[in-house]
């Protein structure tokens, strides 16, 4: 199944990193975050990716152009400059890098991918979040419910502890609890191609217009994911993901 990845945002809340590269190219464990996302989908059988580029999209192009030549051992002929990989590249992916404009909104970026996505059900996610969501179960859920769109709802922990009072008495203290009913859109969506026709143009917001319209029409359903999910919005998030990787057991890694 085709997978679309929105990778063109400015990433202003992570300016420490995104001043020099797009957010999906920020590295965790020696690989950019977008690689981790694609690796997860590939584990579930997807190998055709459509990446919506925008801000500093040339960084992603350069990474994938050089990927085969730089992965593993290589032979370089100094006579003609020809580079020959000596190892098999394990990622047998077909990566389509589509320029979607620097100022285009999220819905508009998806609309620009329409020529490649309009014929069948496809996956969609953001280029700045990782999860251990079971993509196969997500797709089965989508097909069972028969709606035009399914989003993965996640329940991230609060950044702060929670205190509950009875008068002046502290009756409960919880360190970094789940956020009550705070389910949010974690990406990892499944969409029918009809959704593409609901996007007016470059200025359309996927979240603020398209998904809200689908909700009003009863065509959006949520797959609740209680396990690991983490976005990379701030430097704190980057450090957290890197610490999880260095722990030797990063929870989003479903491959071997």
Question: What is the per-residue pLDDT for 252?
Answer: 97
Q: What is the mean pLDDT of residues 82-111?
A: 91
pLDDT of residue 169: 55
Residue 190's pLDDT band, with cuts at 50, 70 and 90, is very high
- Residue 199's nearest CA partner among 98, 117, 143 is 117
Residue 150, token pair as written in the block: 């399914």
Which one has a higher pLDDT value, 164 or 108? 108
DSSP state of 157: B
**Domains present along the chain, CATH in parentheses:** 3-246 (3.90.550.10)
In this predicted structure, what is the pLDDT of residue 170? Answer: 44
Tell me how far the alpha carbon of residue 181 is from its chain's centroid. 23
Provide the pLDDT confidence category of residue 91 given band limits of 50, 70 and 90.
Answer: confident
Lowest-confidence region among 43-47, 134-138, 161-165, 192-196: 161-165
236-245 per-position pLDDT tens digit: 999 999 999 9
Q: Is the pLDDT of residue 160 over 90?
A: no
What's the pLDDT at 158? 62
For range 166-185, the mean pLDDT:
58
| Closest C-alpha to 7, from 43, 51, 50, 38 | 51
**pLDDT tens-digit series, residues 113-127:** 999 999 999 999 999
Percent of the chain with pLDDT over 70: 90
Higher pLDDT, 159 or 147: 147
Beta carbons within 8 Å of 198's beta carbon, 6+ residues apart: 210, 213, 214
Tens-digit pLDDT profile for residues 42-89? 999 999 999 999 999 999 999 999 887 777 788 889 999 888 878 777
Q: How far is CA 248 from CA 103, 146, 241, in A?
A: 38, 39, 12
Residue 162: per-residue pLDDT? 52
- Here the contacts of 240-247 (C-beta below 8 Å, separation 24 or greater) are 241/28, 241/33, 241/130, 242/28, 242/29, 245/28, 245/29, 246/29
Q: What is the mean pLDDT of the chain?
A: 89
The reported pTM is: 0.88
Enter the DSSP assignment of 158: P
Residue 10 vs residue 27, higher pLDDT: 27
Question: Would you state the pLDDT for residue 181?
Answer: 53
Separation between Cα atoms, residue 100 and residue 123, nearest integer Å = 18
Evaluate if residue 177 carries a pLDDT over 60: no
pLDDT in tens, 193-226: 999 999 999 999 999 999 999 999 999 999 999 9
């Amino acid at each position: 199944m085709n997978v679309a990845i929105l990778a063109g945002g400015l990433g202003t809340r992570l300016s420490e990193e995104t001043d020099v590269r797009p957010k999906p190219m920020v590295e965790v464990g020696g690989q950019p975050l977008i690689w981790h996302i694609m690796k997860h989908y590939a584990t579930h059988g997807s190998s055709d990716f459509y990446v919506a580029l925008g801000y500093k999209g040339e960084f992603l192009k350069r990474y994938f152009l050089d990927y085969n030549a730089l992965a593993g051992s290589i032979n370089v002929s100094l006579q003609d400059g020809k580079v020959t990989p000596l190892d098999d590249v394990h990622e047998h992916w077909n990566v389509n890098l589509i320029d979607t404009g620097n100022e285009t909104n999220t819905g508009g970026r998806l609309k620009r991918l329409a020529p490649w996505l309009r014929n069948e059900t496809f996956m969609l996610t953001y280029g700045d979040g990782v999860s251990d969501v079971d993509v196969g179960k997500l797709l089965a859920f989508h097909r069972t419910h028969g709606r035009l769109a399914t989003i993965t709802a996640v329940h991230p922990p609060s950044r702060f502890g929670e205190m509950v009072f009875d008068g002046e008495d502290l009756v409960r203290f919880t360190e970094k609890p789940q956020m009550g009913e705070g389910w949010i859109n974690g990406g990892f969506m499944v969409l029918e191609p009809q959704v593409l026709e609901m996007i007016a143009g470059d200025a359309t917001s996927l979240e603020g217009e398209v998904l809200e319209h689908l909700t009003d029409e009863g065509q959006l359903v949520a797959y609740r994911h209680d396990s690991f999910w983490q976005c990379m919005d701030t430097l704190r998030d980057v450090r957290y993901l890197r610490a999880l990787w260095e722990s030797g057991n990063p929870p989003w890694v479903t491959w071997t």
